[in-house]
Amino acid sequence: MEMAVKLAHKSVPYKLTRASHPRSHLIKGVPMYQAVLFDMDGTILDTITDLTICTNYALSQLGKPHEFPAELVKLCYGCGIEADMQKALAMAAGCAGEDLEYVENPTPLSSYGLTAQDTARLQSIFVPYYSAHCHLHTTPYDGIPALLSALRKRGIRTAVASNKDEADVAKLAAMHFPGLFDAIMGNSPAIHRKPAPDMLDRILHDLSIPKEQAVYIGDSEVDIETAKNAGLACISVTWGFRNKSFLARHGATRIAKNATELAMELGMRES
């Protein structure tokens, strides 16, 4: 059985407050959750510039159109590498942004004259190139390191569950959030990717945290569906790969537009 990769600790400018969230069970000084689990891309890290550069590079190596802006490229990501590559190829073949955006819209490769072999070729170029360049322009979103430190200071467990390849998740977590996560889990052959609940289930099992004491935070419809499938509370954020109206249309009920609002959703306030 694969275990979530364990990491370590750190510290904070937020503290818990009874008035910061309407939940009646929140008691002053008592955490609302024992564990807070995060998506990575578009949630804790702004990865879109590196993803855009690497996607355009991989497309260029196949002789495809390859000057796509970040606002379009980001609609290709979040579903797992094979689906992401299919969407990138469809984008290069003229697929409209609204058809790329929603994970349940199948990408009709055949209607664009594309095959599974094309997807495999693009993936074989993109994956090693992105792994070597994924850190060049990627940065944490404002307020996220401080929020993570505050959670850890309160004894709340933190983790990452991402559809990005696990080696890249581990590399970026260590680079940008040293000591701030108890566990990380990314895409690997040993576990089903999101929106299957397996990653969240495995992390909570390894941390010995009951589901009712955990929350999952993400920026996409994939994350909303993952939390639902795992039986976890979910908070959506609007600074990532999907906007507020899209998230609301696809089931988001708790939405934060910045780290301060996210802290409030978690029952915390700035000190």
| Ordered per-residue pLDDT tens for the chain, 271 residues | 444 444 433 334 555 443 333 343 334 445 689 999 999 999 999 999 999 999 999 999 999 999 999 999 999 998 889 889 999 999 999 988 888 876 656 666 777 888 889 999 999 999 999 999 999 999 999 999 999 999 999 999 999 999 999 999 999 999 999 999 999 999 999 999 999 999 999 999 999 999 999 999 999 999 999 999 999 999 999 999 999 999 999 999 999 999 999 999 999 865 5
Cα first-last separation, the chain: 41
103 φ, ψ (degrees, to nearest 5): -60, -30
* Contacts of range 63-66, beta carbons closer than 8 Å, 24 or more positions apart: 64/89, 64/92, 64/93, 65/92, 66/92
Dump strand ranges (E) for 90-219.
139-140, 157-165, 183-187, 214-218
152 φ, ψ (degrees, to nearest 5): -70, -35
Residue 113, burial from CB neighbour count under 10 angstroms (0-12, 13-18, 19+)? exposed
